[in-house]
Amino acid sequence: MSLEIKEQSEVSPFLSDAARSAAIDNKEKEIKDAQHENDDIMCGFWIFKGPLLQRFATETMYVTIYGVSGCFMAMCFAYFSGTITTLEKRYKIPTKTLGIISVGNDMTTMFGSALIGYYLRKVHRPRWMGIGLFTIVIFCLLNCSLHFIYGAGEDALKLTREFGDLQNITGNLTGSHKDQKLCMSEESTCMQENSIWGPQLILFGAQFILGIGQALFIVIGLAYMDDNTTKSKTPAMLSFSTFLRMLGPAVGYSLASVCLRWYIDPTTEPLIKPEDPRWLGAYWIGWLILAAITFLIACLMTLFPKELPSTRARRLKCEKDDIQNPMDQQMDLSLSGMWCSLKHLATNKVYVYNTFASILYFFGYMVYWIFTPKYIETQYQQSASMATMATGTVALGFSAGGVLLSGYIVSKYQPSARSMAAWNAIVDFLTVAGILCYVVIGCEGSDKLSSMAVTSADSCSASCHCEYVHYAPICSPNNDTYISACHAGCTDNTKDQLGRTLYTGCQCIAPSNSTSVPELQYAVDGPCHVDCFNQFLIFLAVMCFLKLVGASSKSTNLLIALRCIPPEEKSFALGVGSMVASLLGFIPSPIFYGWLIDKYCLVWGKTCSNKGNCWLYDTQALR
């Protein structure tokens, strides 16, 4: 029987035609409303529907997928941080400029979070989260495209056997290539750089797009999770999803470590080892992997219903018990309504104080998220692969443990909001104490490199005109590292029995004996070995402790933020908090610390039009 005939049979025959038509219309509206209600709790879309998918429309499954999605989003952030020194060297970008690039996502988040939290409260939130994840896929592909647009670079190819053999065959090794390293009697010419702004604009555009996905995923996702989980289970669910997200940085840094062990052009054979500061790893491979996996996770996220069936059952029960749900009230989406909501949040003292406390914490501490691998490479002379492995797999493993431990304690003992706020304050004080410990964890060998860089730029090599010479460190018999053969005053080079490049006639290198014989003033290509491993282990122990303690306040801080605001303002409050944190914390912090790091640079990779990247820092002052 067709729907129309069935509806007409259910209408009384004694009604007039007008009344019968009105009754049929009401019946159709009821059926459509029921169908709409059923669509809201059905998993999937288009042809990807069915009872098989509906079995996964549970709180646990959503929290798991949300946590896994956050894991891969965090992997993207961590991978970018892990490869940041490689990007600096490859595209000759100063740290301050790269700090500006890294805040591109926070700029988008700042402008978009409040609007997303306010206007997207009644939409199909899982699908919007899926859109956010798809923008992260675009972010990965843009970062990867740099390699395919600009290639490995001439500086990297010069350090491969294939390019070196070609140089020897064409006879260029004794020409300009040699002049760029050895002492010259007349003023050197600066090196031309084909493109300096193209890579920077692509990197900034990628970060700008990432901010859109970040705002959609975090602001909408947290509100959806809190609305669709039982309040007693929220702390455990929140800790579990946070734990999964905390695995992201560990895996992201590990992926960066593996990729950076390969040379930037895997088809060539490099003449240097990964420990050499001139080594450039294959940063672009990881972006392809992340893009593919994030695309699959985005497709899974879009399959969740607008409202979970268990949540709908609780909502109907509340309606049956005449309990009004604030989320079901008619919301004013005008600008005046937004202004009223903003004024209401501004009078919430707990929300305001907690937000600004978080901003101060982010400004002072979260910058280490970006620059910790760079700091380890600079201070403790570790390879980029080792630095990213330590920052990710080791240290962030303690972060994941701290999140799980705090979630268990909060779920079992259910401390008061005052107790959770007090613990957050204790965590801040411990973090400050731990950061101050970093000042005294130095390395004598690393500091010696800095002092030799100043020495090699003195009047001894001033006549060699080394201002635009590539950073190509050499090691003297006294175990002193010089910036290049030019800075050591070397006049000639040859090959020894081991195939190493041997520089001779180095006027600025003190001979190893008391007799000053020019023939004994020589150096070998490559930096001298510096052993800072014990100091690195001490630094790593302190960092792991800070990660463990700091992560224990993540869940408690978020619970305070969620519980101190009414349910109808939850999404908007999260958006406003994210916007203010980006404006006052996430955006100025990397720019300020990037400028501070550049201030202590000793050796710049100068070109005709650009100061380039920094090759060597004053480690003691920087520390």
Please tell me what DSSP assigns to residue 485: T
Q: Which pLDDT value is given to residue 207?
A: 92
Mean pLDDT of the region 351-367: 83
Residue 172 has a pLDDT of 38
Q: What is the pLDDT of residue 296?
A: 93
Residue with tokens 């204790």: 426
* pLDDT at residue 53 tops 80: no
- Answer yes or no: is pLDDT of 324 > 60: no
pLDDT in the model for residue 27:
58
For residue range 124-165, what is the model confidence (pLDDT) as tens digits? 888 888 898 999 999 999 999 999 999 888 888 888 887 765
How many helices (H) and strands (E) the chain has is answered by: 27, 7
Residue 235 or 404, more confident: 404
The pLDDT, as a whole number, for residue 214 is 86
Between 506 and 116, the more confident residue is 506
The confidence score (pLDDT) of residue 143 equals: 94
Q: pLDDT-based confidence at 393, cuts 50/70/90?
A: confident
Q: Categorize the per-residue pLDDT at 21 as very low, low, confident or very high, splitting at 50, 70 and 90.
A: low
Q: Concatenated DSSP letters for 372-438?
A: HHHHHHHHH---HHHHHHIIIIIHHHHHHHHHHHHHHHHHHH---HHHHHHHHHHHHHHHHHHHHHG
Q: In this structure, are residues 416 and 562 in contact, taking their beta carbons and an 8 Å threshold? A: no
**d(Cα 24, Cα 528) in Å, to the nearest integer?**
89
- Euclidean distance between CA atoms 26 and 621, whole angstroms: 78
Please, which pLDDT band fits residue 193 given cuts at 50, 70 and 90? Answer: low
pLDDT at 16: 59
> What is the predicted pLDDT for the residue at 584?
87
In this structure, the number of other CB atoms found within 10 A of the CB of residue 215 comes to 30
Query: Average pLDDT of the chain?
Result: 78
Segment among 179-188, 190-199, 492-501, 613-622 with least mean pLDDT: 179-188
The confidence score (pLDDT) of residue 173 equals 36
User: Residue 620: is its pLDDT beyond 50?
Assistant: yes
**Proportion of the chain above pLDDT 90, given as a percent:** 11
Query: According to the per-residue pLDDT averaged within each range, which of 233-237, 273-277, 315-319, 365-369 is highest?
Result: 273-277
Whole-model pTM: value is 0.70
The pLDDT confidence band at residue 2, using thresholds 50, 70 and 90, is very low
d(CA 52, CA 55): 6
Please give the pLDDT value at position 344: 83
Whose CA is closest to 456, among 475, 442, 438, 441? Answer: 475
- For 479-525, write each residue's pLDDT tens digit: 888 888 888 888 888 877 776 788 888 888 876 654 455 555 788 88
Q: What pLDDT score does 378 carry?
A: 87
Q: How confident is the model over 212-223, as a mean pLDDT?
A: 83
Q: Which range has the worst mean pLDDT, 114-123, 441-450, 469-478, 574-583?
A: 114-123
Angle of helix 283-301 versus helix 234-261 axis, rounded to 10: 150
Task: Summarize the confidence of residues 523-547 as an average pLDDT.
Answer: 88
Q: How confident is the model at residue 10 (pLDDT cuts 50, 70, 90)?
A: very low
* Beta carbons of 582 and 362 less than 8 angstroms apart: no
Phi-psi group of 94: left, alpha or beta (phi > 0 → left; psi -120 to 50 → alpha; rest → beta): beta
Q: Where are the domains of the chain?
A: 1-36, 58-172+199-316+332-443+532-622, 458-525
Whether pLDDT at 359 is above 50? yes
Neighbours of 579 (CB within 10 A): 22
Helix or strand holding residue 525 (H, E): strand 523-525
pLDDT recorded at residue 30: 55
Average pLDDT over residues 413-425: 84
Note the CATH architecture for domain 58-172+199-316+332-443+532-622.
Answer: Up-down Bundle (1.20)
Q: Average pLDDT in the 370-391 region?
A: 85
Of the pLDDT bands very low, low, confident and very high (cuts 50, 70, 90), residue 285 is very high
Who's near 9: CB < 8 A, 6+ residues apart?
1
The percentage of the chain sitting over the pLDDT mark of 70, rounded to a whole number, equals 78
Q: Which of 102-116, 267-281, 321-335 has the lowest mean pLDDT?
A: 321-335
Mean pLDDT, residues 326-354 taken together: 73
